[in-house]
Amino acid sequence: LALYFHSGEREEKCIIEDVPSDTLVIGNYKVQRWDIHKQDFLESAPGLGMFVTVTTPAAEVLLSKLYGPQGTFSFTSYLSGEHVICLQSNSTRFVAFAGSKLRIHLDIRVGEHFLDESVVQAKDKVNEVNFRLEHLIEQIHHISKEQNYEREREEKFRKTSEETNSNILWWAIVQTLILISIGIWQIKSLRDFFISKKLV
């Protein structure tokens, strides 16, 4: 687990994954706590856990579980869209007193399929190629899924743009009508008023 970032003890850190439907997303994380005495991050922090919450684009909670200081979580999206993965520690210390930092190592993989590396090593050369080809085919399917999702999104984009365009046109017409009718009303109203006041 290579990439890491720092977080406050009670802070919730979220990342966004925009995935097509029926896609497996796997996350690996490791969390370390800052030790004030040693002035370094502890190798392991027993009792420290992380709440992992995954929210679908429809704002439903797909996954909400408490894991230990190190863990793997996974979920399969059934809707296409932006899923939000949030991590928050289960520390119960008060924020002001704690002032402690957490180091969170995170690794998220989308659409990958785990295959047994040992199987590849064991088999002979012909089957190795076979194996790689099967994996290639799976990955091509993923690309195809992403492309379909991209088509949906582009359609939504186009609809928004066309809606904006027609809104502007409609507004221009309405504005002109309002201006003309208000103008007529103003003149009429003032004329009647002046006539009634015997000024004209």
Binding site for another protein (CB under 8 A): 2-6, 13-19, 106-112, 114-115, 117, 120, 125, 128-129, 132-133, 135-136, 139-140, 142-143, 146-147, 150, 153-154, 156-157, 160-161, 163-164, 167-168, 171, 174-175, 178-179, 182, 185-186, 189-190, 193-194, 197, 199
Question: How many CB atoms sit inside 10 A of residue 57's CB?
Answer: 14
Place of tokens 């370094």: 40
Q: How far is the CB of 47 from another protein (least distance, A)?
A: 23
**CB of 90 within 8 A of CB of 66?**
yes
Tokens encoding 5: 């970032």
Q: How far is the CB of 19 from another protein (least distance, A)?
A: 8
Cα separations (Å) of 110 from 25, 26, 114, 139, 176?
5, 6, 11, 11, 52
CB-wise, 94 or 157, nearer to another protein? 157
CB-wise, 5 or 97, nearer to another protein? 5
Q: How far is the CB of 1 from another protein (least distance, A)?
A: 9
CB-wise, 5 or 78, nearer to another protein? 5
CB-wise, 47 or 198, nearer to another protein? 198
CA distance 72 to 198: 88
CA distance 124 to 177: 80
Q: How far is the CB of 148 from another protein (least distance, A)?
A: 12
> Strand (E) positions, the chain?
4-8, 12-19, 23-35, 40-41, 50-55, 61-67, 70-77, 81-89, 101-110
Q: How far is the CB of 176 from another protein (least distance, A)?
A: 11
CB-wise, 98 or 107, nearer to another protein? 107
